[in-house]
Amino acid sequence: MPKPILEQLAEGPVLGDGGYVYILKQRGVPMEGYTPYAIFTHADAIRQLHQEFFDAGAEVIQAQTFQGTRNRLEQIGMAEHYVEIHQRAVALAQEVAGNQALVAGSVGSAVGSKGLAQAGLTLDDARGLYQEECNLLADFGVDFLIVETFMWMDDMLVALEAAKATELPVMFTASFKEKETTDDNVSLGECARKLKAAGADVVGINCMREPSRMLPLMRWMREAVEGPMAMQPIGFRCWPDYTHLHGVRDWPKRVLAPTHMADYAREAAAIGVNYIGCCCGSGPEHLRAMAKVLSKTSRQ
């Protein structure tokens, strides 16, 4: 079995996997309910993409449970399959990872960029939703949790509290759109310090921005906190036509070259990013190029 995530991160950069939602959508998988819905309807397509990332050299396979809190599944009429969706998603990732890669459970925000108050959820409501999901992922045997794409500080802290309660290692990555603050106006440095102080084992940034717009933020974060950091940028160019990925319709025309993602991986490692992966719109070819510069062996 691979070493536990925190041990691996202490020894050198760990290569994550790529983004699922955009690539699967491009392959014709409906994504209205994100990947938890597709786990039910298109498990083979998800398995195939897990396999392609694994073959490219991914050292972590993310179970496709993002947007899988109970309220999210209620919104798409899938709440009755809540347990089964998580079970299937973790089993699928474990099947591909075998004894050669770690499996992370992905936990996304219950409310996204709306924020808890606007979505009509109290902190206790949110904490309950996250606790239920984190416990379930832990029960199904994920190796660690990736809590990701959070934009509001209060939402982050309750999710982190729930994740920490499982006693699994927790990687927490916030998302920054055009501003260099959370949506509730906490500066990036302060956000990282708060997450660290609240017990996140790994802190970082994912989604919304391409590498060139995320690397400066990672340098800032490196100055703000010590310990392992994670980075998962998107795989296509937004700036300067768009401030971030929301609203980009012509993304396949904007996909970054694999060499661009390789340059990103090299630069991220140089500034001390320990977990190097990618998010929306990044596929197996990106990962393969990144594996090469990080001296990871592609498996096929």
List of residues contacting Zn ion (CB under 5 A):
207, 279-280
Q: Considering only CA atoms, which of 259, 256, 188, 265 is closest in space to residue 222?
A: 188
By C-beta, is 163 or 207 nearer to Zn ion? Answer: 207
In the complex, minimum distance from the CB of residue 280 to Zn ion, in angstroms, rounded to a whole number: 3
In the complex, minimum distance from the CB of residue 148 to Zn ion, in angstroms, rounded to a whole number: 8
299 phi and psi angles, rounded to 5 deg: -85, -20
By C-beta, is 140 or 172 nearer to Zn ion? Answer: 172
In the complex, minimum distance from the CB of residue 139 to Zn ion, in angstroms, rounded to a whole number: 26
In the complex, minimum distance from the CB of residue 207 to Zn ion, in angstroms, rounded to a whole number: 3
By C-beta, is 166 or 175 nearer to Zn ion? Answer: 175
In the complex, minimum distance from the CB of residue 19 to Zn ion, in angstroms, rounded to a whole number: 5
By C-beta, is 217 or 280 nearer to Zn ion? Answer: 280
By C-beta, is 145 or 279 nearer to Zn ion? Answer: 279
